[in-house]
Amino acid sequence: MKVLITGATGLIGQEIVKLCHQSDIDVHYLTTSKNKLTSEKNYKGYYWNPNLGEIDLDCFKDVEVIIHLVGASVAKRWTNNYKQEIVNSRVVTTNLILESLKKEKHAVRHIVSASAIGIYPDSFQNYYMESSLKEDTGFLGEVVKKWETAVNEFKTINIEVSLLRIGLVLSNKGGAFPKIANPIKQGIGAVFGDGKQWQSWIHIEDLARLFTYVVEEELTGLYNAVAPNPVSNYKLTHAIADHLAKKIVLPNVPKFMMKLALGDMHILLFGSQRVCSDKILETGFRFKHDNITQAIEDLIL
């Protein structure tokens, strides 16, 4: 089988590429950086510039499934311009692929796209299933709604759609985890706010397995991509500290301070979403890392 991956060069993408190759799945990928282009037998890069509507149409050759990961990081300061980039890098890219396929003879039958649990409103009590009708009314909710709406348009050209609502990805190669773990290692880690906010996490290895599982099992629709046991920010911080044999000595970081420092983006640290993974479990998927203590042990050797 051959898949086309957007965002293949990123944190999650690289892990999925590795797994595809282990399963003899050939990978085409789209990149906005000409210096990231390679041309190996099972890993071929194609250039695109979504903002200018440019895409190398050869990327679709013999591709059956698209794994759509592209997106500007949400962990950079949310200026008005950058907010637009966060939206465009998801919506404009999705539209460009869709419009290109409308004009091309192709073999694509399925798109499996990243989405995010940021669609669910901040809550200490709610336990979110995919069927939840509650939607965050802030910027993150707006991004996810536009992103999912754009991806769902593939149904109009008879391409099956899967959306994986990803939680906090734990990886020792990048993303949030080193940013949380390193200060703790240096003895300057602290809990955010009262630490009660839910963090619905997923180990990167399980996330990559989940993407290839959905491709291979041809699952469609919405799936929460989080491990079965979300934890509080307090538990996450202390589990890392315990593993590193460090003490959390600093006082909790107050919300107003981070709001002053980060603006609207502080919600990434203080937002609370307890998200349920039952739907994917019911299809037979098994997580390798479903316990935070064990996941941390695996990530910090």
Q: Which residues bind ligand NAP (CB under 6 A)?
A: 7, 9-13, 31-33, 36, 50, 69-73, 85, 89, 93, 114, 116, 166, 168-169, 175-176
| Closer CB to ligand NAP, 199 or 232, in the complex | 199
| Closer CB to ligand NAP, 168 or 246, in the complex | 168
| Closer CB to ligand NAP, 184 or 226, in the complex | 226
Are 29 and 45 within 8 A, CB to CB?
A: yes
As measured in angstroms, the least distance from the Cβ of 40 to ligand NAP is: 16
As measured in angstroms, the least distance from the Cβ of 144 to ligand NAP is: 9
As measured in angstroms, the least distance from the Cβ of 112 to ligand NAP is: 12
As measured in angstroms, the least distance from the Cβ of 256 to ligand NAP is: 25
165-191: string of b/e by CB count within 10 Å (b at 16+)? bbbbbbbeeebbbbebbebbeeeebeb
Q: Locate 153 and state its tokens.
A: 């348009």
As measured in angstroms, the least distance from the Cβ of 45 to ligand NAP is: 8
- How many other CB atoms sit within 10 Å of the CB of residue 114? 24
| Closer CB to ligand NAP, 52 or 245, in the complex | 52
What is the C-alpha to C-alpha distance for residues 67 and 208, in angstroms, rounded to an integer?
11
Pairing between β-strand 127-128 and β-strand 198-199 as defined by DSSP bridges: unpaired
As measured in angstroms, the least distance from the Cβ of 9 to ligand NAP is: 4
**Which residues, listed in sequence order, are joined to residue 27 by a DSSP beta bridge?**
3, 43
What is the C-alpha to C-alpha distance for residues 4 and 21, in angstroms, rounded to an integer?
13
| Closer CB to ligand NAP, 209 or 246, in the complex | 209
Phi and psi torsions of 154, nearest 5°: -65, -20
What is the C-alpha to C-alpha distance for residues 154 and 210, in angstroms, rounded to an integer?
21
| Closer CB to ligand NAP, 3 or 246, in the complex | 3
**Residue corresponding to tokens 């190669």:** 173
What is the C-alpha to C-alpha distance for residues 128 and 63, in angstroms, rounded to an integer?
34
Q: Give the CB-nearest residue to ligand NAP.
A: 10
